[in-house]
Amino acid sequence: MALSLELKLNLRLTQQLVMTPQLQQAIKLLQLSRLELQNTIQQELVENPILEEAAEDDAGESEESAGREEAPSEESEEAAAVAAEAQTSEPSTDELVSDVDWENYMESRPLTSRAQGPDDRAPLEANLTPSVSLSDHLLWQLGLSDLSDLEREIGMLIIGNLNEDGYLQEKVDAIAEQAPAEVAHVEAIRRKLQEFDPVGVASLDLSDCLLVQMRVLGVDHPLATKIVREHLDLLQRKDYRGIARVEDVSIEEVAQAARLIGSFEPRPGRQFVDEEVIAGLKELIYITPDIYIQKVGDEYHVVLNEDGLPRLKVSNAYRSVLRGIDQSKETKEYVREKLRAAQWLIKSIHQRQRTISKVMESILRFQRPFFDRGPEYLRPLNLRDVADDIEMHESTVSRVTTNKYVQTPHGVFELKFFFNASIRTSDGDGIASESVKEKIAKIIKAEDPHMPLSDQKIAEVLKESGIHIARRTVTKYREALRILASTRRKQID
């Protein structure tokens, strides 16, 4: 059997996106938050000896040196050639808006940061005091208690197994095995801890927590006690009628008992640092806006927040290295590599700031009614609208709006807040989903607390104002606003 071999030459065209390390860095910088950008710059200052932080009086010679050199002379001709190579060898992309005018960049000092001026106010850190955690507070009380070494060890094990709300998240028998000790002994220590401040910590469930508080505070209310023991599920649904029917009492008596139960703390650890408090601190303290919208007369101006961002420049020391005759080839190549990296970083940071500014200016044009009158007038907007407006790719806009915040006359918002789905109205126009949420919140706020509106009724009220959405959509938006259902919003005097 004979085998035949033949060679064929085929021509095939394919497209492939090749991303250089420099381009990857530029894209990464676009989606960094302000704090992450600060950390990145500081890291680059440590790793790249060519980079320096420019002082205020270096404004005329900092970033411009990254893109151009002085008129070439015999001493600087090689350095100028390296700089030219670094700028012409990289591809242009949507992520890098356009070439930077390095010659006029520092001299022009564009309005990209808040006006500098004396600020006599003390720093925020000076007004903060160290917070005490729930475990620290309980351990302090445990140390003051008259307990044996074993009992104190059991108490420490219990405290170490409390969640942020103050509830015991480990089984008593597991703690007894770990101690080691009798289960009854561990349970006795747990009950002693429940009377620590805040009362109710180390409870097993909500019913246990409330009963301890009632006992310690000396509350003697048989109906409230029975509701806590047996009808917490009905109470959470505010099914007062069902409780009254089961216990053969009036609705008024149930309402009175419910108000008493509502005066107790269902989450003893709330007053200490928990997840909600931490989330609140992030929103109120630690989120620093990347952009400020300032109104001057009838016009809004986009001002980038560059406070704390160091201005970078290329060190002049590399020139002597490049022109040095006694320098090795490896040394010169190392300097060239670091020079290119420094130039690209400075250029990418400036392009990032320009891109953020352009995106925000486009959002401002589309969402002018919001800035004039508030969230209720937010318009439908998607990434393509902004991308087409500023002639960039959607992916660039998406990266720019990630983890970026803007301070507006109506509060601080994430840039992605301004992009909303469109909901059709009766007159054929569209309304933003966030505006619908705002309307739902206002409707619920104005309702009669004794006769709260159901989701279906809210949908009917919205329909009367020309907004046609289904009941399930109202439910979704209400839950997103963290508003309880009508059965749980009802109040009974």
For domain 134-271, which CATH number applies: 3.90.1570.10, 1.10.10.1330, 3.40.50.1820, 3.30.530.20?
A: 1.10.10.1330
Who contacts 397 (Cβ-Cβ below 8 Å, separation ≥6)? 359, 383, 386, 387, 390
User: Is 50 exceeded by the pLDDT of residue 31?
Assistant: yes
Q: Which helix (H) or strand (E) holds 81?
A: helix 77-88
Q: What angle do CA 384, 386, 387 make, to 5 degrees?
A: 60
Decide if 392 contacts 94 (C-beta within 8 A): yes
The amino acid that residue 446 corresponds to is: A
More confident residue, 101 or 451: 451
More confident residue, 127 or 106: 127
Tens-digit pLDDT profile for residues 432-452: 778 888 889 889 988 888 888
User: Is 90 exceeded by the pLDDT of residue 191?
Assistant: yes
For domain 422-489, which CATH number applies: 1.10.8.60, 1.10.10.10, 2.60.40.10, 1.10.10.60?
A: 1.10.10.60
What is the pLDDT at residue 298?
A: 87
Decide if 375 contacts 435 (C-beta within 8 A): yes
More confident residue, 425 or 196: 196
Per-residue confidence band for 37, with pLDDT thresholds at 50, 70 and 90 = confident
Q: What angle do CA 86, 91, 95 make, to 5 degrees?
A: 110
Q: Which two tokens stand for residue 478?
A: 């209400």
What is the pLDDT at residue 326?
A: 64
Exposure on the CB side of residue 67, measured as CA atoms within 13 A: 15
Q: Which CA distances in Å does 345 have to 29, 40, 194, 222? A: 9, 10, 57, 71
The amino acid that residue 452 corresponds to is: P
User: Is 80 exceeded by the pLDDT of residue 282?
Assistant: no
User: Is 80 exceeded by the pLDDT of residue 62?
Assistant: no
Per-residue confidence band for 400, with pLDDT thresholds at 50, 70 and 90 = confident
Once rounded to an integer, what is the mean pLDDT over residues 363-382?
A: 88
Decide if 429 contacts 468 (C-beta within 8 A): no
What is the pLDDT at residue 161?
A: 93
Exposure on the CB side of residue 385, measured as CA atoms within 13 A: 17
Among 58, 24, 64, residue whose Cα is nearest residue 343: 64
Who contacts 470 (Cβ-Cβ below 8 Å, separation ≥6)? 459
Decide if 300 contacts 29 (C-beta within 8 A): no
Per-residue confidence band for 138, with pLDDT thresholds at 50, 70 and 90 = very high
Once rounded to an integer, what is the mean pLDDT over residues 127-140?
A: 75
Per-residue confidence band for 1, with pLDDT thresholds at 50, 70 and 90 = low
The domain locations on the chain are 21-113+307-350, 134-271, 291-298+351-418, 422-489
Once rounded to an integer, what is the mean pLDDT over residues 92-119?
A: 39
**β-strand 422-424 against 430-432: which pairing, if any?**
antiparallel
Topology alike, domains 134-271 and 422-489: yes
Sheet holding 299-304, edge to edge: 299-304, 291-296, 405-408, 411-414
Residue 211 CA to residue 226 CA, distance in Å, equals 10
Per-residue confidence band for 66, with pLDDT thresholds at 50, 70 and 90 = very low
Residue 481 CA to residue 438 CA, distance in Å, equals 9
Which stretch of 77-86, 151-160, 482-491 has the lowest confidence by average pLDDT?
77-86
- Residue bearing tokens 């970026």: 404
